[in-house]
Amino acid sequence: MGLSLRGVVALLQHKCSRKIRGEAVNLVVAHGVDMLCQRQGGAAAPPQLLQLPGIVNPAAQQAQEFIQTAHRFSFLRQGLKRRPDGISRPAFWCDWDELGCSHQMHRPVPGPAGLPHRNAAGQAQAVRPKVVASGKTQVALAADRNDTGKAFREQVRTELVPLCEQLYAAQAKRIGVDTLMFYDEKRVFPDGNAVPAGDDDFMVEEARKMYHKISPETGEFIDFMIEHELMDLKNKPGKAATGYMTFLPDYRAPFVFSNFNQTIFDMQVLTHELGHAFAGYMAMREQPITEYYSESTDIAEIHSMSMEQFSYPYAEAFFGKYADKFRFAHLQEAITFVPFGVAVDEFQHICYANPELTPKERTAEWKKLEEKYMPWRKYDVDDFFDRGGFWYHKLHIYLYPFYYINYTLTTMGAMEFKKKNYENHETAWQDYLNLCKCGGSMSYLETLRYANLSNPFEPGSVARAMEVAKQELMNSPFMR
């Protein structure tokens, strides 16, 4: 950008609007490493930049902290392209420096090669990734170099696929069908799945009690969320049909948005989304800069999925006599999702390595993956799905290439926390707190080591992580 320290200082000292002043501060944050590490040799920031008069944007303090300690975070310039743990990001991830080092900013790329897109004139056209001299796409070359997921997917195939087959065979018997169709997979019990024991306010109050019992930290957290009205959970006309957790960094506050619907989904909001929120709450009180408040996507879901597991002992308060049904159905869904997740990952590798595939051929490839990872799935009543058309509904394939495996990797982290909690709750909870507090300050493998979690790519990791969950499911009275 040709940005210099002198230019930024002049811009900030100029009597400009608060908006422009704030944008200048963001530039300082985004390019602090460039300015210091490249132009100042890692020296401390000049005093005039740290003592600017009249800065009202709260980000100024974060910018100062960032620049003062930039020499310690030099990996932000190169490590975000080639991370300290040695696992490179695929080529489709954008240059993080140029986009301001924001983990949420990435270049959207087309889905599998040849899928129809619209040009500026609204005309349908096929968009294909750039092909290099080797005949492969740039994305495919990066995928080849980084397909560390291959060994993990094989563990899922050998360890989890047989377990899922047993679970679905028992489910077919339980609900009284000879063949379990794909539309039966969510129908876990013949008399219906568990439902909450009270209304929306009841669920929030029980969540408050639960978090006070789990730990002093979660008790403080839930009181903060309720007192400051940081949860918009009730359904109402015109409200967006979505759910998420986000940050209000100026206030060091998480915010949760969702729509209660009187199903087990409500409990998942109070544990999954609040698991994200608790991680953000802790990181915002431990980490010195905003960039570290949020962790990378290959870590983030460990917080939320693990909180779901930590909540299991309190299910009676939310579901009464149906608590066992909730725990069984919830755990089964968490496990049976993993084969589908790795199938999505392998499908993308196939598509980007073979951009010449026609839509019909891609659909045939998905059918092969279903037979490999989901041999129980039946679509006889729907010819399109039976040919392999189920993948079309998964937006991640179009919008976020190679992202989806993160959900399966984080499931392993959550199942490992479940195992650790079974063996020693105090140790498990301390490791979980450490995970939440470190935010995004470490690389993927560094974060796992800091929280005493296994590397899911190592041989045998899936079997070890799944040990307690597998026993819990297979020993359940619902499997008889």
In angstroms, the CA 113 to CA 389 distance is: 16
Report the pLDDT value the prediction gives residue 98, as an integer from 0 to 100: 28
Contacts made by residues 9-14, CB under 8 angstroms, sequence distance 24+:
9/46, 9/48, 9/49, 9/52, 12/49, 12/52, 12/55, 13/48, 13/52, 13/53
235 φ/ψ angles, rounded to the nearest 5 degrees: -75, 145
At 78-117, the pLDDT tens digits run: 333 333 333 333 332 222 222 222 333 233 333 443 343 3
- What 3-state DSSP class applies to 232? strand
Amino acid at 181: M
Continuous H helices in 97-179: 138-145, 149-155, 161-175
Report the pLDDT value the prediction gives residue 139, as an integer from 0 to 100: 55
Is residue 9 within 8 A of residue 48, CB to CB? The reply is: yes
Q: Tens place of pLDDT for every residue, the chain, 480 residues?
A: 444 444 444 444 444 444 444 444 444 444 443 333 333 333 343 333 333 333 344 444 444 444 443 333 333 333 333 333 333 333 322 222 222 223 332 333 334 433 433 333 334 343 444 444 444 555 555 555 456 789 999 999 999 999 999 999 999 999 999 999 999 999 999 999 999 999 999 999 999 999 999 999 999 999 999 999 999 999 999 999 999 999 999 999 999 999 999 999 999 999 999 999 999 999 999 999 999 999 988 999 999 999 999 999 999 999 999 999 999 999 999 999 999 999 999 999 999 999 999 999 999 999 999 999 999 999 987 789 999 999 999 999 999 988 999 999 999 999 999 999 999 999 999 999 999 999 999 999 999 999 999 999 999 999 999 999 999 999 999 998
In angstroms, the CA 418 to CA 423 distance is: 9
Q: Checking phi first, is residue 42 left (phi over 0); if not, alpha (psi -120 to 50) or beta?
A: left
In angstroms, the CA 22 to CA 17 distance is: 9
Residue 106, exposed/middle/buried by CB under 10 A (0-12, 13-18, 19+)? middle
Helix axes 200-214, 216-227, angle to 10 degrees: 150
- What 3-state DSSP class applies to 90? coil
Is residue 151 within 8 A of residue 459, CB to CB? The reply is: yes
Report the pLDDT value the prediction gives residue 85, as an integer from 0 to 100: 38
The model scores a pTM over 0.85: no
* Dihedral sign computed on CA atoms, order 106, 265, 406, 279: positive
SS3 content of the chain, % helix, strand, coil (to 5): 60, 5, 35
In angstroms, the CA 262 to CA 264 distance is: 7
In angstroms, the CA 140 to CA 306 distance is: 33
Strand pairing class (231-232; 253-257): parallel
Q: Which residues lie below 8 Å from residue 23, measured CB to CB, with a gap of 6+?
A: none
In angstroms, the CA 125 to CA 380 distance is: 33
- CA dihedral in degrees (82, 84, 89, 91; nearest 10)? 0
Helix axes 59-68, 18-33, angle to 10 degrees: 20
What is the Cα 296 distance to its own chain's centre? Answer: 8
Report the pLDDT value the prediction gives residue 134, as an integer from 0 to 100: 47
Closest CA to 480 of 168, 164, 170: 170
Distance linking the first and last C-alpha atoms of the chain:
66
